[in-house]
Amino acid sequence: MGSLRGISIAIFVVQALLASVALVSAQGSATPSRWQTLSGEAPVVIARGGFSGIFSDSSFGAYSLALETGPSDVILWCDVQLTNDGAGICFPDLKLDNNSKIATVFTDKPTTYLVNGVSTKGLFSIDYTLNDLGSVYLSQGIYSRTNKLDGNNYPIMTVQDTYTQLQPRGFWLNIQHDAFYAAHNLSMRSFVLSVSRNAKVTVDYISSPEVAFLRNIAPIFRRSSTKVVFRFLGPKDVEPSTNQTYDSLLTNLTFIKTFASGIIVPKSYIWPVDGALYLQPSTSIVLDAHKEGLEVFASDFYNDVPFSFNYSYDPVAEYLQFVDNGKFSVDGVLTDFPITPAAAIDCFAHIGKNASKQADLLVISNNGASGDYPGCTDMAYTKAIQDGVDVLDCPVQMTKDGIPICLGSINLIQSTDIVRTGFSNLTETVPEIMQSSGIFTYNLSWSDIKSLKPVISSPQSQYKLFRNPKFQNAGKYLKLSEFLSMANTTSSLNGVLISIENAAYLAKQGFGVTDAVLKALNEAGYDKQTTQKVMIQSSSSSVLMKFKGKTNYQLVYKIDEDIGGAQSSTIDDIKRFASAVVISKDSVFPENSAFLAGATDVVSRLQAANLSVLVQTFSNEFTSQAWDFFSDATVEINSFCAGASINGVITDFPKTSDRYRRNRCLKRGNKTPTYMSPVQPGSLLSLVTTDYLPPAEAPKPYLTESDVVEPPLPPVAKTTSTSTPSGTVAAAPAPNGQPKVAASIIVPLMAVLLAMYYCFEI
């Protein structure tokens, strides 16, 4: 039932989605003897319905993209359903409602059938002939995924069409409902037998969750190369032919071995999680099955469905947990996103934390490892160091008592529990800082801020994606001096990045933030040492001009807005006060409705002017990435590094970026596998048909001289009066511009509070 139009579209998918590199998918570069699989060979990658994470399941586009981005021996998975006239089609479910446009072709009322004893309503394949389904097109069945590619109208394909048109190295037929079809006088056994006799089709694996079906067909394939695999469903689900639960059958692997050469189990059977989605110790299922001579395939891998917080939303880390944990390896993985396990197995497995770097990419933290712990806490910084960060960052804020501290925002509401404390009445609106109201650090003393609980940032919380809830309030905040002391004693660091914002407004309020930073750096010895570099970052050119000429620190200009380009004169202006520039991801690859719309020349033009280009902010959550990156943070990083040639990343998850630059696939030249090739910006959007095309977005503005040039910072104001309680006298300002405490009833009150504070501290 496949069409020439479908084939041409699929070929276009192959050509467009990836950059033009040698299409070599050399899986298995890791030493085979190191694999703890049953065979000792690398685990196989099984593409469920093809690359169903992007294209509609079982479509020609999905299968083609799986063949292109997966390993050379990727196995295509086909869920077999039978039509009314006994034809076998590849379709993910008994019912056609969800993954096709059948409702636009037929106005039939849904039918109700018993499926494994459960009354189920829908439009079933058994109610339509193969000819009927010839005008039914596939659609994306998971509503959290984009449906913008459904306009390509991929037809439903037969099992034979799928194999003959795609010619995969491996082909897997999954027979989920033999008992249902038998109850309607359709024989799945006869269909499988006919396929096995078809010289044009080679079936490598046949799986089913029904014992009776597999025991029936096992003798047919005993002397063939086709492997029979028993599929486990939920632990408490009942297998229809034995009337046993699947967890009960799991205790009798010897019985399973009598009719199967392997088992396929949900990944939670191997690495279970608790109710809070944290990993528990692994079970013995893989080792037990291997002892029985059974291969073990793990299912339920989806880049866009979070499984455990232990993986920090990094799908590569999840796959490595199953194939490279030092104890066992599964023999294969069933996935909707085959590009990710292909890279995990070939490029990342067995490389070790101390593998040499294969890419010249600077990794800078964003508030430490703020994806795992509350940003700018000691725990976030420690984790970033452990995860291989090059440059540790500290966004400097000022406290009421003039102490520079590290905090991701001047607004305490964004990173602490202050709204639940007695300080919640300090809310104010300061248009020079932000349009909305906040509670700002300069209104609280350092001791006040230390009393607040840190709160982890979850920038994708609108999608119900939260970060590490078990440690959402962990850690303590640091003064700049404490941060510098930590960094100075960490030999693995290349340097520190000090970020300064709102300096002009703070100066008017009596806070000299640039002077405070210089003083702290000098006291920490950074003005004299050369082991670690110091980077000073600001979106204010006047701040960087304040440092220019006084130090040998690297000055970094942060461009706050998304830009589509920059005037030559503007770039020349930036060079006067900076040697590096921070830009947004959208300034490199602009997006339209979460699709990459193309690429700008911003990076190349800045680099041509000898300005290093750092890009922010990289996060692991798939909702922070364009569809083009396949819900995989590593694909995104690779596309910016290898595709756009940026100099560095600023990231919430330093571990992901550090691991990327150590992978063994980066220096293979023309043998670089497609799963480690950068995506081609705009190619996926070009496959969206007119009726699904999102509205064109206005081009990003160019950066002009007026955006960059600023007047010098104002002098730090001397505070001459303060708001004081009735009957008290305002104190004369201290040398740093901060008011002294008036000699009044405040003094004994402060003495009492301090005494209480030290009592509790002790």
CATH number at residue 338: 3.20.20.190
Report percent pLDDT > 90 for the chain.
87
Question: Where does a domain end: 286, 317, 348?
Answer: 348
Question: Where does a domain end: 679, 703, 727?
Answer: 703
Tell me, yes or no, whether 234 lies in a domain.
yes
**What would the mean pLDDT of 626-655 be, rounded to a whole number?**
98
Give the residue with greater pLDDT, 755 vs 1.
1
Tally of domains in the chain = 2
Three-state SS string over 257-317 comes to HCCCCEEEEEHHHCCCECCCCCECCCCCHHHHHHHCCCEEEEEEECCCCCCCHHHCCCHHH
Tell me, yes or no, whether 30 lies in a domain.
no
Residue 756's pLDDT band (boundaries 50, 70, 90)?
very low
Residue 162's contacts (CB-CB under 8 Å, 6 or more residues apart) are: 2, 58, 63, 76, 78, 90, 171
For residue 738, the model assigns a pLDDT of: 35
**What would the mean pLDDT of 229-233 be, rounded to a whole number?**
98
For residue 504, the model assigns a pLDDT of: 97
The two tokens of residue 469 are 């809830």
pLDDT above 90 (res 221): yes
Question: Where does a domain end: 684, 703, 722?
Answer: 703
Backbone angles phi, psi at 102, to 5 degrees: -60, -30
- Domain of 502 in residue numbering reads as 362-703
In the block, residue with structure tokens 């039509």? 83
**What would the mean pLDDT of 707-721 be, rounded to a whole number?**
87
* Same domain, yes or no: 468 and 374: yes
* Same domain, yes or no: 283 and 378: no
Which of 478, 452, 484 is closest to 378 using CA atoms? Answer: 478
For residue 720, the model assigns a pLDDT of: 52
| DSSP-derived pairing of the beta strands 111-115 and 118-122 | antiparallel
For residue 363, the model assigns a pLDDT of: 98
pLDDT above 80 (res 689): yes
pLDDT digits (tens, 9 = 90+) for 79-123: 999 999 999 999 999 999 999 999 999 998 999 999 999 999 999
Look over the chain and give the mean of its residue pLDDT values, rounded to a whole number.
Answer: 91
* Same domain, yes or no: 438 and 557: yes
Tell me, yes or no, whether 601 lies in a domain.
yes
Tell me, yes or no, whether 144 lies in a domain.
no
pLDDT digits (tens, 9 = 90+) for 259-281: 999 999 999 999 999 999 999 99
| 102 three-class SS | helix
pLDDT digits (tens, 9 = 90+) for 132-182: 999 999 999 999 999 999 999 999 999 999 999 999 999 999 999 999 999
**467-471-473-474 Cα dihedral, nearest 10 degrees:** -130
Report percent pLDDT > 70 for the chain.
90
pLDDT above 60 (res 4): no
* Same domain, yes or no: 233 and 376: no
* Same domain, yes or no: 385 and 297: no
Which of 185, 11, 2, 183 is closest to 89 using CA atoms? Answer: 2
Tell me, yes or no, whether 31 lies in a domain.
no
* Same domain, yes or no: 447 and 304: no
Tell me, yes or no, whether 316 lies in a domain.
yes
* Same domain, yes or no: 282 and 374: no
The rounded Cα 155 to chain-centroid distance in angstroms is 31
pLDDT above 60 (res 33): no
Q: Is the dihedral of CA 207, 211, 216, 222 positive or negative?
A: positive
* Same domain, yes or no: 53 and 199: yes
Tell me, yes or no, whether 126 lies in a domain.
no
* Same domain, yes or no: 320 and 379: no
pLDDT digits (tens, 9 = 90+) for 528-577: 887 999 999 999 999 999 999 888 899 999 999 999 999 999 999 999 99
pLDDT above 60 (res 22): no
Contact 402, 516 (CB under 8 A): yes
Query: What is the reported pTM?
Result: 0.91
pLDDT digits (tens, 9 = 90+) for 575-622: 999 999 999 999 999 999 999 999 999 999 999 999 999 999 999 999
Which of 585, 660, 661, 587 is closest to 626 using CA atoms? Answer: 585
For residue 719, the model assigns a pLDDT of: 74
* Same domain, yes or no: 306 and 428: no
Three-state SS string over 430-477 comes to CCCCCCCEECEHHHCCHHHHHCCCECCCCCCHHHCCCCCHHHCCCCCE
In the block, residue with structure tokens 């941060």? 483
pLDDT above 90 (res 373): yes
Residue 510's pLDDT band (boundaries 50, 70, 90)?
very high
Tell me, yes or no, whether 520 lies in a domain.
yes
pLDDT above 60 (res 216): yes
* Same domain, yes or no: 171 and 71: yes
Q: Whole-angstrom Cα distance, residue 106 to residue 528?
A: 78
Maximum separation of any 2 CA atoms in the chain, in Å: 101
Residue 298's contacts (CB-CB under 8 Å, 6 or more residues apart) are: 264, 265, 266, 267, 269, 270, 322, 330, 332, 333, 334
| 139 three-class SS | coil
* Same domain, yes or no: 208 and 249: yes
pLDDT digits (tens, 9 = 90+) for 725-743: 333 333 333 333 333 333 3
For residue 524, the model assigns a pLDDT of: 96
